[in-house]
Structure 1
Amino acid sequence: MPQTNVDIITLAVFLILFAFFVFLGFYGASWRKGDLSKLYEWGLAGRRLGVFLVWFLMGADLYTAYTFIAVPAALFGVGSLYFFAVPYVAWTFAIAMLTMPRLWTVSRNKGYITAADFVKDRFNSRYLALAVALIGIVAELPYIALQIVGMKAVLTMLIVGLGINGSITLINEISLIIAFVILAAFTYTSGLRGATLTGVFKDALIWFTVIVSIIAIPIAIGGFHVAFSSIPSTKAAIYETLPPKLIMGYFSLALGSAIALYLYPHAINGSLSSVSKKQLKLSTSLLPIYGIGLVFLALFGILIYGIPSALSAIKDLSPIIGKSAAADLVVPAVIAYTMPNWFIGIALVGVFIGGLVPAAIMAIAISNLFVRNIIGEFKPLSMKGESTLAKWMSAVFKFAALGFVFAVPGYAITLQLLGGIIVTQAMPPIFLGLYTHKLEKWSLLAGMIVGVSSGVGLYYHYGSVFMPTPIGSIYIALVALALNLIITGLGTAIAYVSGWKPTSRVKDEEILKSM
């Protein structure tokens, strides 16, 4: 295997920066002091984050191992189809502007901590809220697993680069244990405050890495045209053009993912932490800047063809750790084989904590759902009891997420796309609920059940996130959502014909009015 530029200096830089990251994580418990025995203080940072803190937090929320590892790996392994991530990111922030300020307003006025809190009052249904909470938790687990995959990829490249002998599989298992211990301590101690501080640090490292790499690496290899011209002729077509048969798949992936992103509990959680609706709107309007970085990171999947040593390393590792796991090393390998040792340490720790921070935020978000909308529906808890249970459950959910690493084969991006199939089914009660309460609660519940069961069933039937149709392959999330909306619409129509009249504990004016 070709020798990387990773050495003892790389390791020293990595460890020093990681130690500072750990310090920030624990220091978060004392930063902007609040009573962390209250769930909204631990899980929403007291709703006191301003424009740039929310911007960094949401960047940490959304700029994850999906961006650093999964998209470049899928682009390298499959081709231009997975460049769908670029328009998806552009579209999703428009959806966020239409929904999150409304949800923030009613949540602040009513004291809601989760979207399921809102759904419960909007449609007068504890069971609908329970279903929304379950969907959010189950959908988030594969997304947390994706962060674990990203961290594992970084540590694998670091250890391989140092030339440490031993089983890579064993090393990966050890790296997972380390990641879980860090995450558990990090989230239990400081909650969203620690995630915010470390998110600022993580984003600073990542932006530095992306800007320097995308300038220095093409210059070092002679330009992007060298990478494109180095692609084998048998594979050139999958990178240079989008085959007509994949156009529907590309469009449906972008649309389905855009709908899904702000239904994930971690995205909602980050939005609700803002200090005001105006500042939430401003921070959300600035988030497309992160899309620029995504474009460049995706291109690492092409750039690697201009770096023979990095490409050779991935090919050498494929028989050992598997083709898809080796593809996950694209970004770490490109950097490790081209950049100086000190910079590699900065980049690798940035990508590593780029998995840790989002995983912490995700665990916090689903812990909030669990204690508020599952346990809390059957056994009322004190404020301290809610917070304590949420802290422990944040650790439990990280271990549960590990199962998805082994249960879902294929490229890492499949983990995120599977989560998208599930979480998209919460769109009617959450997004549509922000605009109308005239949907019948049992019809909404039936629609979600049909949507989730059909989505997961189709995924395992086809062994893919796509369903073949006469007009091309379609992302299963949209197929399942269509069934969901049909059931909801028909059920609501039948209810109206039977004499049902909508009622709600949340009036439209309470969603629209400012704080």
Structure 2
Amino acid sequence: MSTQLAVFLAVFGSVTLMGFAAARWRRPDSIHSLEEWGLGGRAFGNWVTFFLLSGDVYTAYTFVAVPTLVYGMGATGFFPVPFLVIVYPMLFVVLARFWSVCHVHGFVTPAEFVRARFGSPGLGTVVAVLGIVATMPYIALQLIGMEAVFEVMGLPKGWPLTLAFVVLALYTFNSGLRGPALVSIVKDALILWAVLAVLMIVAMTPGQWETIFKIAEDRYAVTPRTDDGLLLPVQSQLNYVTLALGSAVALFLYPHTLTGVLAARNRGTLRRNLAVLPVYTLTLGVLMLVGFAALYDGTQPIGGNANTVVPQWFNENAPAWCAGLAFAAIGVGAMVPAAIMSIAAANLFTRDIYRVYLRPRATAKEETYVSKSVSLTVKFGALLILLLLNTQFAIDLQLIGGVLIMQTLPAVALGLYTNWFHRWALGLGVGAGLVVGLFMLWQVPKLGGTDGRQVVREHFGGSAWPLNNLGLDSDATIYVGIVALAVNLLVAAALTPLLRAADVRDGRDDTREHDYVADEGDPTVRRMTEILDGEPVPTSFFTPVSRPTRFENASDDDPSRRAYPRL
């Protein structure tokens, strides 16, 4: 057994034990509810929330695929840096309102909020289905990073990855959100070690970064491609900007991001972490530079699999034990977000499909069991996507998923500030956005070859739509998600006044303005517990509060609600 494999197995085994032990981590034995299993009791404090959100946002795929894109394309691969700069101020402003309204009403998913805000079970179901569909390939992409590590260590394809995912599935089933929350602490420590290793290796390189950048610039200058380079080519700038903006919007809307948010103890905890998390982007920036370092060292992907570039670079340039820790960082970095994503998808199915259409009177215990079972199904579905489909096509599926999840922005994000949109207008807007988005994706070919211009697959080859489809003499492209979202918003905004003028019945808003600013200690906030990474949880898990019924003081003329009956 190689040293790298021994270190990897030791770390992976320790993390597995932590995942199972998390089931008893300050958890009351008598409580069996979806909020307890799927949201950690809504009680994570500052430290746990930080590690959970960082584990949620910075995934193994980010630390593997993005440096690989830099390796192949140069500056184009740096789009996550601006999109993370954009997304955190957005999250800081919006997510506190989402936290409050969900804690007042006991919502576990964004689809529940949409259903209550616009009085539309159908619209809530659309949000839930889009969330599940968009999440499945995202989980599969986490496995791509782990698969690349196994390939570098010389393990066969198939059963090692399946075994690792079985372990992940079992401890998630057993521990719920507490499992990835606890494991994320180890994940962050390993990632920080990998960053330190990169800086130390480069520090021992003659000329350090200056030489590395010069070699990279020379390599891009002699390639037949015109869309690569140390600086961003002109024809790539529009796609770069729109992709960064669209990725920021999509990250906020993905169910796993919102699941981590709802696990926070209070608004202050959430906002403090959203203010600090941009610092973590520095680690991503350093690891992205591994793409340039791999060019300098002449690192070649194994078996033509470009995703092996990063682990192979560590394997060639770091001591064996250090490379093993880097491999473990990628492996554990895949487990944490994959677990959170599967929990988020399972919660969507349970609360917004199973309970709405199949078992409206399901007990809390039954809800939890269904969600646990669905989380297993989602994980193995993602594993099948990776094992049965071409790896590159799995990546393209994730890009399509991003376009899909962006169509929920008017209902979820704008719904946190206004109920002006008509529910039918929102539904038709989502439909229009999906039709336009999928049609544009169908028109995008998959390009390859040495010059990057050979058509490998005619349809669904990416998310960069060529502007020459409009008859323009241009090599520029634009991110499909932005165009589809613009169509969605235009349709929803245009149809809302028309539907109201036609007296088409709207849904009733079951939320009040105060719900969006309520915090821990407010009498309307329910199901709060003591901080999990501070004081022990009390014996009585649910804090008894005097909570007024919805709209007990509001009339049908109250502007905070609609007078139309819910359909």
Instruction: Name the TM-score, length of structure 1 as normaliser.
Output: 0.91
Per the alignment, in what secondary structure is the counterpart of residue 274 of structure 1? coil
Q: Which residue of the partner structure matches residue 317 of structure 1?
A: 303
Aligned counterparts of 2:252 and 2:314: Cα–Cα separation in 1? 31
Identify the range of structure 1 (434-443 vs 411-420) with the bigger mean alpha-carbon deviation: 411-420
Q: Which residue of the partner structure matches residue 369 of structure 1?
A: 348
Q: Say which of 197, 204, 220 aligns to 2:189.
A: 204
Pair 1:13 & 2:3 matched: no
- Rate the CA distance shift 1:73–1:373 in 2: closer, same or farther, 3 A: same
- How many Å apart are 1:66 and its aligned residue? 2.7
Q: Which residue of the partner structure matches residue 337 of structure 1?
A: 316
Does the CA contact (< 8 Å) of 2:22 and 2:175 recur in 1? yes
Identify the range of structure 1 (375-384 vs 363-372) with the bigger mean alpha-carbon deviation: 375-384
Q: Which residue of the partner structure matches residue 488 of structure 1?
A: 492
Pair 1:234 & 2:222 matched: yes
Q: Which residue of the partner structure matches residue 321 of structure 1?
A: none
Per the alignment, in what secondary structure is the counterpart of residue 353 of structure 2? helix
Aligned counterparts of 2:389 and 2:288: Cα–Cα separation in 1? 26
Does the CA contact (< 8 Å) of 1:217 and 1:338 recur in 2? no
Q: Which residue of the partner structure matches residue 376 of structure 2?
A: 395
- How many Å apart are 1:211 and its aligned residue? 1.9
Aligned counterparts of 1:448 and 1:149: Cα–Cα separation in 2? 30
Q: Which residue of the partner structure matches residue 559 of structure 2?
A: none
Q: Which residue of the partner structure matches residue 77 of structure 2?
A: 82
Identify the range of structure 1 (245-254 vs 72-81) with the bigger mean alpha-carbon deviation: 72-81
Aligned counterparts of 1:30 and 1:297: Cα–Cα separation in 2? 35
**1:89-117 CA distances to partner (integer Å, 9 max, x unpaired)?**
11111111121100000111111111111
Q: Which residue of the partner structure matches residue 356 of structure 1?
A: 335
Gaps of 5+ in 2: 445-460, 521-567
Does the CA contact (< 8 Å) of 1:141 and 1:401 recur in 2? yes
Q: Which residue of the partner structure matches residue 262 of structure 2?
A: 272
- Greater Rg, structure 1 or structure 2? 2
Aligned counterparts of 1:198 and 1:373: Cα–Cα separation in 2? 28
Aligned counterparts of 1:327 and 1:117: Cα–Cα separation in 2? 40
Q: Which residue of the partner structure matches residue 29 of structure 1?
A: 23
Q: Which residue of the partner structure matches residue 190 of structure 1?
A: 175
Gaps of 5+ in 1: 1-6, 161-170, 319-325
Aligned counterparts of 2:197 and 2:88: Cα–Cα separation in 1? 26
**One-letter identity of the residue aligned with 1:383:** A
- How many Å apart are 1:131 and its aligned residue? 0.5
**One-letter identity of the residue aligned with 1:133:** A
Q: Which residue of the partner structure matches residue 118 of structure 1?
A: 113
Aligned counterparts of 1:136 and 1:32: Cα–Cα separation in 2? 30
Q: Which residue of the partner structure matches residue 283 of structure 1?
A: 273
Aligned counterparts of 1:71 and 1:265: Cα–Cα separation in 2? 22
Q: Which residue of the partner structure matches residue 453 of structure 2?
A: none
Q: Which residue of the partner structure matches residue 504 of structure 1?
A: 509
Identify the range of structure 1 (246-255 vs 12-21) with the bigger mean alpha-carbon deviation: 12-21
**One-letter identity of the residue aligned with 2:433:** G
Does the CA contact (< 8 Å) of 1:53 and 1:196 recur in 2? yes
Pair 1:433 & 2:415 matched: yes
RMSD: 1.9
Q: Which has the higher helix share?
A: 1
Per the alignment, in what secondary structure is the counterpart of residue 467 of structure 1? strand
Aligned counterparts of 2:378 and 2:355: Cα–Cα separation in 1? 18
Per the alignment, in what secondary structure is the counterpart of residue 351 of structure 2? helix
Q: Which residue of the partner structure matches residue 436 of structure 2?
A: 454
Aligned counterparts of 1:78 and 1:175: Cα–Cα separation in 2? 31
Does the CA contact (< 8 Å) of 2:71 and 2:295 recur in 1? no
- Rate the CA distance shift 1:82–1:412 in 2: closer, same or farther, 3 A: farther
Aligned counterparts of 2:381 and 2:206: Cα–Cα separation in 1? 43
Q: Which residue of the partner structure matches residue 68 of structure 1?
A: 63
**One-letter identity of the residue aligned with 1:186:** Y
Aligned counterparts of 1:141 and 1:345: Cα–Cα separation in 2? 29
**1:462-482 CA distances to partner (integer Å, 9 max, x unpaired)?**
132011225731111111111
Aligned counterparts of 2:373 and 2:215: Cα–Cα separation in 1? 50
Instruction: Name the TM-score, length of structure 2 as normaliser.
Output: 0.83
- Rate the CA distance shift 1:180–1:453 in 2: closer, same or farther, 3 A: farther
Aligned counterparts of 1:197 and 1:221: Cα–Cα separation in 2? 40
The count of corresponding residues between Structure 1 and Structure 2 is 488
Does the CA contact (< 8 Å) of 2:144 and 2:391 recur in 1? no
Q: Which residue of the partner structure matches residue 132 of structure 2?
A: 137
Does the CA contact (< 8 Å) of 1:145 and 1:415 recur in 2? no
> RCO higher in 1 or 2 (8 Å CA, sep ≥ 6)?
1
Q: Which residue of the partner structure matches residue 467 of structure 1?
A: 465
**One-letter identity of the residue aligned with 1:509:** H
Q: Which residue of the partner structure matches residue 483 of structure 2?
A: 479
Identify the range of structure 1 (455-464 vs 58-67) with the bigger mean alpha-carbon deviation: 455-464
Aligned counterparts of 2:167 and 2:211: Cα–Cα separation in 1? 41
Aligned counterparts of 2:267 and 2:252: Cα–Cα separation in 1? 16
- Structure 1: 4+ residue segments shifted above 4 A: 406-409
Does the CA contact (< 8 Å) of 1:71 and 1:413 recur in 2? no
Identify the range of structure 1 (171-180 vs 139-148) with the bigger mean alpha-carbon deviation: 171-180
